[in-house]
Amino acid sequence: MIVLKSIVFFVLFNVACSIIAVNHWVLNDNGLITAKIDSPFYMREPQNLATFLDQIKHHEIVESTHLELLRQKELMVEQIIQSVRFGIETIEQAKCSAKFDDPDNILSHTRLTRNYLNRFNKNAKYELLVKPQLPYCEQFLEFNIGMCCFDHLPSLGNSRLLEISPEDDMKDEELEIDNDYFLSDIVAGLKKNPNSWKHHALASYYWRMKGNAHQAVECARRAILLAPREFKDVPLLSLGTILTRAEQFNDADIVLSAAVDHAPHIAENHLALGITLAMSYNFNRSIEHLETAEKVDPSYSHKISNLKNFVMCLNKLNRNSEKIDGFIEYFKKEVSGLRSMKAKIFASHEKLLQQQVPLGARYVDMDKANGPFTHRGQYCSTRTLAGNDEPVLFCDFYSEIQMRLESYDVDIEALEQEINANSEAIKERLTMELHSQLNFQRLKTKPSRD
């Protein structure tokens, strides 16, 4: 009786296999044994043990790599959400300078003062000239400036290209610069003594007030050449300020550092250098010079306190910006890793397919219109079979793993687009905010040429 039952089971099992051609059964979530309709172990050569073992290896690679891919992507999505949140918070923090006095124009802190003008000790007064000529310094003193006056700096190679806005602060009545007497005195002094460093330096102030960078540079460099060492920092400060206002920060750093070297006891030199360094995002050096300026002249304490807070605010934003750059580079590497994992899955899956009976051929005795693959898409590809150089067109239904790889869960391209879109938007917005804090555009209005 037992033998008869075994024969009946064997016959029924073979009949079932001939109908649905399934030889891989799995335990589903409900605890039921069900057929795995696209089993990788329905092989073209089921008797080939080596191929069967290879099939096991490639199947394990596909499944384990797919799980790792999903895990890595889920982790990465969470990291992206956190980085976007961090970017938005950083953008909000970019408005921190609004808390400080005069955030609109950091260069207003370097305005010329009456006390500083007193360093010229200019006692001689000349008779007021009627309609004096403009103080074009090259008309009073021609010479080859050379390296002693920074001719080697890129921005000064052709100073005609420099642009600055007029320095309206110099029109303050206390300075007594914006009047006919000041202009007349400069021109008369240059006519009487073309080698006067003071009048060349004062001429550079006149052209800065007018917003003419080229003429201001020409006068300042002549003053640098002519000035004695104890006063050489005066024209150096003027030239450095011109370069800062023209956004030539590297060259301004060099010139203003020279001013500090010549006169480290003058607070204005440290103050101007500190502001220039802040505008070039060199925040640590900036704070050092601002603190030195405060020690040299405590009367600047209130102004420098605000400036230091402003610079430290920007320093924090800059560090956060660097972190965002790091996030972006990290995500790019991670995306590349996910893409490699996906390629690894495809490579092993292709090896599985080469040894399998095509899905469409497994249900030979059933109407395919009513078969289990009708809800799946189909694909076609060309393959070169062993011993045959001619490519063969191969078409079949999508397997389960192929459908998983085509799903949004492992859409690496969409993930990369999302990363790029978010990172570019955050970086652009943050750059705009930082740019607006230093208000570069306001410093580059069309200069006067009179």
State the pLDDT at residue 322.
Answer: 86
- Distance from C-alpha of 259 to C-alpha of 273, rounded to nearest angstrom: 9
State the pLDDT at residue 175.
Answer: 87
3-state secondary structure of 34: strand
Domain 100-319 has CATH 3.40.50.10540: no
Mean predicted lDDT score pLDDT of the chain: 80
Residue 10: pLDDT band (50, 70, 90) is: very low
CA R_g for the chain: 39
Contact 433, 89 (CB under 8 A): no
Task: Render pLDDT for 346-402 as a digit per residue (tens, 0 to 9).
Answer: 888 888 888 887 777 776 544 544 466 666 777 777 777 666 677 777 777 777 777
Mean pLDDT over residues 412-438, rounded?
A: 73
Mean pLDDT over residues 108-135, rounded?
A: 82
State the pLDDT at residue 297.
Answer: 94
pLDDT over 70 (residue 433): no
Query: Which carries the bigger pLDDT value, residue 85 or residue 123?
Result: 85
- Distance from C-alpha of 255 to C-alpha of 170, rounded to nearest angstrom: 22
Residue 240: pLDDT band (50, 70, 90) is: very high
Mean pLDDT over residues 315-339, rounded?
A: 87
State the pLDDT at residue 99.
Answer: 57
The pTM (predicted TM-score) of the whole model is: 0.65
Task: Render pLDDT for 51-75 as a digit per residue (tens, 0 to 9).
Answer: 889 888 998 998 899 889 889 888 8
Spans of all domains in the chain = 2-70+335-403, 100-319
Residue 439: pLDDT band (50, 70, 90) is: low
Task: Render pLDDT for 137-146 as a digit per residue (tens, 0 to 9).
Answer: 999 998 766 5
pLDDT over 60 (residue 19): no
**b or e along 200-227 (b: 16 or more beta carbons within 10 Å of the residue's beta carbon)?**
bbbbbbbbbbbbbbbbbbbbbbbbbbbb
State the pLDDT at residue 209.
Answer: 95
